[in-house]
A and B are shown apart, each in its own frame.
Chain A
Amino acid sequence: MINIEKIQNRQPFITETEAGVFLVKLKKEFYEQEAVMQASYKFTNTCFIKIDAMEEGYVGIWFKAKLELHVDPELLLCEFCNEVLDQQVRLDLEKRYGTIRDSIYQFAFAPIKDRIEDLDG
């Protein structure tokens, strides 16, 4: 059973903008567009999703659950918030790996001859 009051009281970052439509507002300072997009993609089976700019410094993600799926919005949107966070961690990690991923792939797929030359210095 969906308990909107509970959502509004306990999860202030989630608001119900109209019946059945929920808004998650995220600060762009902490979350990049790619993290928001990737996290949203994972929820496209259960929800219709719209992403739009909001007031200065915020991005809004609107969710409308697909009727046939009977999902609990509170649980779902809390999961979404965790997912954006994890996606942002992945992006931050990507930046820290720097070119390491590319060099691993280059080395792995280099012709054997180049690799032997590499190893011989």
Chain B
Amino acid sequence: MMRNEYSILPFTFKRLPHRKMLMVNQSGEFIFVSSNDFNDLLNNDLSAGSPTYFELKGKHFLADTDLDIAQEMVATQLRSRKSFLRHFSSLHMIVVTARCNFICDYCHASSAALEQQRVDMNWKVAKKTVDLIFSSPSPVLKIEFQGGEPLLNWPIIKEIFHYGTFLNRFAKRQLEFVICTNLTLLTEEMIDFIKEHKIAISTSLDGPKLIQDLHRKTREGYSGYDVFHSNLQRLRERIGHDGASALLTITKTNLSKLQEVIDHYVELGFDGVFLRALNPYGFARQNMEQLGYSVEAFVSEYKNILQYLIELNLQGIPFAEYYTTLLLQRIFTPFSTGFVDLQSPSGAAISGVIYDYNGEVYPTDEARMLARTGDKHFRMGHVLRNNYEEVFGGSLVKELVKKSCIEVLPGCASCVYQAYCGVDPIRNYVETKDIVGHRPSSDFCKKNTMILDHLFQLIDENDPDVIDVFWSWITRRPLEEIRHDKFSRNSP
């Protein structure tokens, strides 16, 4: 029998139930084929006229007369996927104080009592931090104020803002500021400043009052939720509804009540949520018994809530799940999402970096929390003692990059989800004392595998309602618009 002449382009694959295969190529394009077609493809027996042949060719899994063009197409898409590398060190988180008026069960490793002002960032450290930030080559610079509770050191936030804005008159970067705050200390003067300078606000919301107050406790014993709620309204009245976004931390307490949590988010007028599993860092690690849950439990609730969110959207309530959206963007588009946990090499240090109040620099907040518990393995340098090259070009950053390329990591190298997944070297280190980590026992790997398995099952089922909701999340457009466009495309 004469064999067909075609070249196979690089791809990874996974066997699915019902004799189906999922194939993903280097640029992240995917296709489902039957195992018969898969075998024919490998044996060069795939008929050149078959629909599968055309689809495989169109999605760059094989090439016949056009190998050079196909390679260039895949390379161009791969280049877009890796475009975050051109924004080297763009996210700069500054811990302006380690003090906090809260003692949350899952993060108080890094929070100090209100009277301990020695853990506030001073002007000398702050100025050097901003100088270091402006040494970054990135055209986009995002400065995020964190804590503790950053509003406790409000004067330094203003100083950093003014100095950064001054330097940017010459540096001409796209400069953005975000304050991550529990909102409870917000004054009118702060709101004026935030409004005048268009500073974004990121806050925390774990659910309705009872849930929010359970693990997010104030040091003085009052209900943090009540103050949060009234200040959120006050802030929105002045800066508009979209000025504040919220982050959800999922503990054992709210995991089984996620529907109630989502309803509360909707009630408060948020248009999405990030379903973030609790990570094993800092004190959260020691409190795992009380706060933690298995990956299986998390993914089971994730599936339920995803279904619930799809239904909400279909009922006309636009509300997105952001982790799913990031994964779907990676699955359906060739664009870089800029989310540090889903990057290869890892975004730790090369995309985002955190400056502690005392001037120490760490690749991620988790690395900083690890240092707070005594392990300074990931300390990149100090703003008063090291220059940009020493902090970002040192052996630690090189090691982080070298050992976090998913394409060559044991287990990931042959994984079908490689193009969509990422690497968390800090978490690997926490779990195995090795940056490379151990995929077969990694919860990060298990969670991403289970979530991606589920998403690909939904994509394969191809329910038009579900796919339309997914596209409305990816493109941030109303569902009606997506449907209208589809209808117009399909009409004669």
Contact = CB atoms under 8 A, between A and B. Distances in A.
**Residue in B9, B82, B413 with the greatest tally of chain A CB atoms within 10 Å:** B9
User: For the complex, would chain B's binding face be called helix, strand, loop or mixed by DSSP majority?
Assistant: mixed
B414 A107 contact: no
Interface residues of B, number: 27
B72 A107 contact: yes
B441 A104 contact: no
B72 A101 contact: no
Interface stretch (B73-81, B285-293, B315-323): B73-81
A82 B75 CA distance: 32
B8 A96 contact: yes
B440 A104 contact: no
B27 to A, nearest CB: 8
Nearest to A87: B414
A21 interface: no
A89 B12 CA distance: 10
B229 interface: no
A100 B10 contact: yes
A108 B8 contact: no
B42 A93 contact: yes
B441 A45 contact: yes
A38 interface: yes
B71 A104 contact: yes
A105 interface: yes
A28 interface: no
B438 interface: yes
A91 to B, nearest CB: 9
Given A44-B438, A44-B440, A108 B9 contact: no
A31 B74 CA distance: 30
A105 B414 contact: no
A30 interface: no
B12 to A, nearest CB: 7
Interface in A41-94: 41-46, 82, 86-87, 89-90, 92-94
Interface size class of A (residues with CB under 8 A): 20 to 34
Contacts, number: 66
Contacts of B15: 82, 86
B9 A97 contact: yes
Contact of B12 (A82, A90, A107): A90
Contact of A42 (B8, B11, B82, B440): B440
Nearest to B81: A108
Contacts of B76: 108
A109 B413 CA distance: 19
Contacts of A89: 42
A41 B411 contact: yes
A61 B76 CA distance: 42
A87 B76 CA distance: 28
A104 B78 contact: yes
B58 interface: no
B76 to A, nearest CB: 7
A86 B13 CA distance: 9
Given A86-B15, A93-B42, A104 B74 contact: yes
B410 interface: yes
Contacts of B414: 38, 87, 90
B26 interface: yes
B378 to A, nearest CB: 26
A103 interface: yes
A108 B10 contact: no
Contacts of A92: 42
A94 B439 CA distance: 22
Contact of A100 (B7, B78, B440, B441): B7
A89 B67 CA distance: 22
11 contacts: A41-B410, A45-B440, A96-B8, A97-B8, A100-B7, A104-B74, A105-B78, A107-B72, A108-B78, A108-B79, A108-B82
Given A42-B439, A90-B414, A100-B71, 7 more contacts: A41-B410, A45-B438, A100-B10, A101-B26, A104-B71, A105-B75, A109-B82
Interface of B: 7-13, 15, 26, 42, 67, 71-72, 74-76, 78-79, 82, 410-411, 413-414, 438-441
The 7 closest A-B CB pairs, nearest first, are: A45-B440, A107-B75, A108-B75, A108-B78, A45-B441, A108-B79, A101-B10
